[in-house]
């Protein structure tokens, strides 16, 4: 799986999306704190002579050592590289290289890891040592703001949910109002017809009364 620091709690997404380890194609294949293993392709990471760039080996070494440190120290402490020393033994022209990070010293505020890098034939191509400081994660700028950023993102999410609910109810209210308007128009039509019918009944009563008066003995038209 590709290594990405957002797998460690607290790193803001905007930083997680800009990690060098992803750009050089590093993949972590073992997440054991005592033996972090990762691979990196030669393709895309060459120097002008066509061989693997030494700086790419350094990126792999620091990534694996930092992951090993993070697995032991986070979330309370966040590893920061202090010293990286690399010795390049032989060139690599193609395929994958594999790095293995193992602890040499694990302390509360400083840890050191040995990283060995080999080619696909098992030949050692680079030996590295990484020493990491382990400061309080809450004191790092990116980590210190992450909790407030998380709260802001959650608040925005909640507001979006409320807006969606309100929008849904607004649509429902609009439909109800439309239905009531339709019923109101229908009632108005029925009311008009009822008024016409009432007038017709009144006229009919008048006619019936006139006919009855004619039918009475000595009755005359009124």
Q: How confident is the model at residue 1 (pLDDT cuts 50, 70, 90)?
A: very low
CATH of the domain at 97: 3.10.129.10
Same domain (yes/no): 164, 111: no
> Does residue 156 register a pLDDT over 80?
no
Same domain (yes/no): 151, 133: no
Same domain (yes/no): 65, 163: no
> CA separation (Å) from 113 to 18, 36, 58, 82, 116?
25, 10, 13, 12, 10
Same domain (yes/no): 108, 200: no
Residues 6+ apart with CB under 8 A from 104: 112, 113, 114, 129
d(CA 126, CA 120): 13
> Helix or strand or coil: residue 220?
coil
Task: Note the pLDDT of residue 39.
Answer: 97
Residue ranges making up the domain that contains 133: 5-137
Classify residue 46 by its DSSP letter. B
| Closest listed residue to residue 74, CA positions, set 169, 7, 146, 151 | 7
Residues 6+ apart with CB under 8 A from 125: 52, 57, 88, 89, 90, 91, 92, 97, 117, 118, 119
> Does residue 221 register a pLDDT over 60?
no
Candidate list 27, 62, 175, 189, residue with the active-site label = 62
Same domain (yes/no): 133, 149: no
- Asked if 15 and 142 count as a contact pair (C-beta separation under 8 A), the reply is yes
| Each residue's pLDDT tens digit, 96-143 | 999 999 999 999 899 999 999 999 999 999 999 999 999 887 776 655
Kindly report which listed range (74-78, 101-105, 146-150, 177-181) carries the lowest average pLDDT score: 146-150
Same domain (yes/no): 127, 151: no
Same domain (yes/no): 170, 119: no
- Choosing from 119, 137, 155, the residue where a domain stops is 137
| Each residue's pLDDT tens digit, 182-203 | 887 788 887 788 888 887 878 7
Task: Note the pLDDT of residue 181.
Answer: 82
> Does residue 3 register a pLDDT over 60?
no
- Choosing from 137, 153, 168, the residue where a domain stops is 137
Same domain (yes/no): 109, 192: no
Q: How confident is the model at residue 163 (pLDDT cuts 50, 70, 90)?
A: low
* Known catalytic residue at 147: no
Same domain (yes/no): 33, 94: yes
| Each residue's pLDDT tens digit, 25-68 | 999 999 999 999 999 999 999 999 999 999 999 999 999 999 99
* CB burial of residue 133 (10 Å; 0-12, 13-18, 19+): middle
- Choosing from 137, 172, 198, the residue where a domain stops is 137
Same domain (yes/no): 156, 118: no
Same domain (yes/no): 109, 88: yes
The strands making up 110-118's β-sheet, listed across from edge to edge, are 27-32, 35-41, 96-106, 110-118, 124-133, 80-88
Same domain (yes/no): 110, 80: yes
Tell me how many domains the chain contains: 2
């Amino acid at each position: 799986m590709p290594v990405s620091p957002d797998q460690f709690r607290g790193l803001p997404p905007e930083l997680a999306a800009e990690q060098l380890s992803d750009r050089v194609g590093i993949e972590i294949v073992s997440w054991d704190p005592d033996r972090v293993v990762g691979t990196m392709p030669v393709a895309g990471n060459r120097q002008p002579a066509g061989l693997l760039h030494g700086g790419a080996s350094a990126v792999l070494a620091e990534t694996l050592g930092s992951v090993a440190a993070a697995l032991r120290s986070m979330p309370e402490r966040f590893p920061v590289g202090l010293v990286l020393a690399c010795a390049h033994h032989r060139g690599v022209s193609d395929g994958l290289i594999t790095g293995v990070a193992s602890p040499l010293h694990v302390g509360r505020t400083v840890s050191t890891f040995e990283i060995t890098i080999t080619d696909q034939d098992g030949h050692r191509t680079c030996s590295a040592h990484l020493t990491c400081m382990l400061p309080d994660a809450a004191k790092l700028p990116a980590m210190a703001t992450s909790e407030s950023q998380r709260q802001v993102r959650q608040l925005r999410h909640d507001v979006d949910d409320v807006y969606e609910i309100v929008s849904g109810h607004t649509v429902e209210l609009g439909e109800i109002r439309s239905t009531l308007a339709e019923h109101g128009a229908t009632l108005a039509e029925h009311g008009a017809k009822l008024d016409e019918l009432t007038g017709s009944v009144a006229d009919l009563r008048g006619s019936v009364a006139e006919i009855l008066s004619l039918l009475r003995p000595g009755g005359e038209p009124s």
